[in-house]
Chains A and B, each alone.
Chain A
Amino acid sequence: MSGLTTTGATVLSDIHVLPKSLLLWRAMTHWLGGLGIVVLFVAVLPTLGVGGKRLFNVEAPGPSQPGVKPRIRETARMLWYIYCGMTLLQMLALMATGMDLFDAICHTFATLATGGFSTKNASAGAYTPAAQIVMIVFMVLAGANFGLYYHILQRQFKRFWRDPEFQLYLGILAVASLIVIGSLVGHNLVLTDGTVIEGSIANATLHGVFQVVSIQTTTGFGTVDSNLWSFLPKMTLLILMFIGGCAGSTGGGIKVVRILVGFKIFKAELERVFRPNVVRSIKVGKSVIDPQMRQAVIVYILTIMLIFAVGTITLVLLEQGNGIDIITAVTASAATLHNVGPGFSRVGAIENYGWFSSPSLVVMSLLMALGRLEVYALLVLFVPRFWRKP
């Protein structure tokens, strides 16, 4: 479940012992799950017809959006072409930094799907800074709406840069990076392979930006042991886990557009306190958010927070015998629900999930599936009326 949902949480402590065939399959599960296995179907199956749109909307991450092409099958195909094109590009870029073909393939699959499975115990920390920079670039690209790349192919660069969600996404990445870099400068950094390096501006920038991008895009690669950081950068990363990538990306989390709409609703409600008669429409870019969409966004955010809380409490109850601490429970619940992978404390960047009991692993698998399918697709199966004739 961790591979296919692109969570990247592992129960394996020593990845080196796995044969290459299984490592390749592990990475492949990320790649297949990244854009969605059913979206692949919509792209290739002619029999789906109008139903394809329903399937697409159920599986595609983020609030339902208009397709970039008039027919949903063409949209799905176009998304897969872009995905494959970016895969090829990243693979070549990683090989240009000196990475061998096998590692380049596995890390490309894990980066573009925002998964996070590595072929090395030290994760991305086992590679050169050049390779890490390539990964940062492609993680940022994978966390953005894939529909935007279609506009680039159409040479509509303004539509790409003026997209409000993309602007906010880059803004959050920039602000969070500055906070983390500022906290790391002057402190020693412990890399994922155990090496200690000094917190120079260059080192803090590379590892700070890498960690911020990795967590916000919900990839989960690590170059440093973020578990040893102070409160502020750790809290920043935890908040980023909840925000996640853009709608229509391969990333998890609540999604930047929902956060944007949520804040606009909050602002409008705040104004209503002292101007009760004012009626203002809520807009994202040029499009007005209708009341139904507003309600859907608020309900989604509340549901996610409720599931997160229930997940945390369940993990605490199930792992009492294992001496679980609250930070581990909170971040394990958040990291699996938002498909990030690593959390903090006993599920930190150089730790794994292997010590959890089987019932907890089942709970976290469920959280991963709920997060990847954005809750409703899975929860409706437990509603008795869903199974009755309409």
Chain B
Amino acid sequence: MNYRFVLKHLGLLMGVLGASVLMISAVDWYCWPDRTVGGLAGIKALVATGLLGWLVAVVLLAFGRRADDYLGRREALLLVSISWVLGAALSGLPYFYGLFRSPKQCIRFVISMHATLRR
């Protein structure tokens, strides 16, 4: 399996998705300005998601930087299925981020998760 090729293209995909999120936040900021707490939280969530998408993209591209261009049937299947899973995870992140508008809430969530897992 040509994993490097798969990682490289997953990196490109995350880069494109990250750019799409940032583009949407820029369009929203200029076309439908909403400077209320909720509106700003939405923009922050999108920008954070876009930047995280780019960060993941950089990491994946670094892992797949010396990939050869062979794409077999198995690589195609792996690339497509993982693309959708990763894409869905990144697309859902803005809503998830919306849950933690303050660091306190985030810490509380981590503590309760930890407690649940230990139980």
B34 near A25: Cβ-Cβ < 8 Å: no
B45 near A55: Cβ-Cβ < 8 Å: no
| A387 CB within 8 Å of chain B | yes
Task: Please report the C-alpha to C-alpha distance between residue A37 and residue B24 in the assembled complex, in whole angstroms.
Answer: 17
* A residues in contact with B34, CB < 8 Å: 19-21
Are A58 and B42 CB-contacts (below 8 A) given A19-B34, A37-B83?
no
* B residues in contact with A51, CB < 8 Å: 69-72, 75-76
Are A32 and B80 CB-contacts (below 8 A) given A20-B34, A365-B88?
no
* B residues in contact with A369, CB < 8 Å: 81, 84-85, 88
B28 near A21: Cβ-Cβ < 8 Å: yes
Min CB distance B41 to A, Å, is 7
A37 near B42: Cβ-Cβ < 8 Å: no
* B residues in contact with A3, CB < 8 Å: 88, 91-92
Q: Which of A19, A20, A48, A54 has the most CB of B within 10 A?
A: A19
Mark contacts of A33-44 with chain B using CB atoms, 8 A cut-off: 1 yes-contact digit, 0 otherwise: 100011011000
Are A38 and B79 CB-contacts (below 8 A) given A5-B88, A17-B38?
yes
B42 near A5: Cβ-Cβ < 8 Å: no
Are A32 and B20 CB-contacts (below 8 A) given A20-B39, A45-B12, A369-B88?
yes
A58 near B77: Cβ-Cβ < 8 Å: yes
**Residue of B at shortest CB range from A57?**
B76
B81 near A381: Cβ-Cβ < 8 Å: yes
A58 near B76: Cβ-Cβ < 8 Å: yes
B42 near A21: Cβ-Cβ < 8 Å: yes
A24 near B91: Cβ-Cβ < 8 Å: no
B95 near A22: Cβ-Cβ < 8 Å: yes
A20 near B84: Cβ-Cβ < 8 Å: no
B81 near A378: Cβ-Cβ < 8 Å: yes
A55 near B71: Cβ-Cβ < 8 Å: yes
Task: Please report the C-alpha to C-alpha distance between residue A381 and residue B43 in the assembled complex, in whole angstroms.
Answer: 36
Mark contacts of B39-50 with chain A using CB atoms, 8 A cut-off: 1 yes-contact digit, 0 otherwise: 101110110000
* A residues in contact with B71, CB < 8 Å: 48-52, 54-55
Min CB distance A217 to B, Å, is 21
Task: Please report the C-alpha to C-alpha distance between residue A59 and residue B88 in the assembled complex, in whole angstroms.
Answer: 15
| A102 CB within 8 Å of chain B | yes
A55 near B79: Cβ-Cβ < 8 Å: yes
| A377 CB within 8 Å of chain B | yes
| B106 CB within 8 Å of chain A | no
A28 near B20: Cβ-Cβ < 8 Å: yes
A37 near B79: Cβ-Cβ < 8 Å: no
| B21 CB within 8 Å of chain A | yes
* B residues in contact with A19, CB < 8 Å: 34, 38-39, 41-43
**Residue of B at shortest CB range from A380?**
B77
Task: Please report the C-alpha to C-alpha distance between residue A18 and residue B25 in the assembled complex, in whole angstroms.
Answer: 14
| A338 CB within 8 Å of chain B | no
* A residues in contact with B17, CB < 8 Å: 32, 37
- Besides A4-B87, A22-B46, A369-B81, 10 more A-B contacts (Cβ < 8 Å) are A5-B84, A5-B88, A37-B87, A38-B79, A41-B13, A47-B69, A54-B71, A58-B77, A58-B80, A389-B1
Binding site for A on B (CB under 8 A): 1, 9, 12-13, 16-17, 20-21, 24-25, 27-29, 31-32, 34, 38-39, 41-43, 45-46, 69-81, 83-85, 87-88, 91-92, 94-95, 98
**Can you list the 10 inter-chain pairs with the closest CB atoms, starting with the nearest?**
A51-B71, A19-B42, A54-B76, A21-B42, A21-B28, A1-B88, A58-B80, A29-B91, A19-B39, A22-B42
Binding site for B on A (CB under 8 A): 1, 3-5, 17-22, 24-25, 28-29, 32-33, 37-38, 40-41, 45, 47-52, 54-55, 57-59, 101-102, 365, 369, 372-373, 376-378, 380-381, 386-387, 389
Cβ contacts A to B, 10 pairs, < 8 Å:
A17-B38, A22-B45, A38-B79, A38-B80, A41-B12, A45-B9, A48-B71, A57-B76, A365-B88, A386-B77
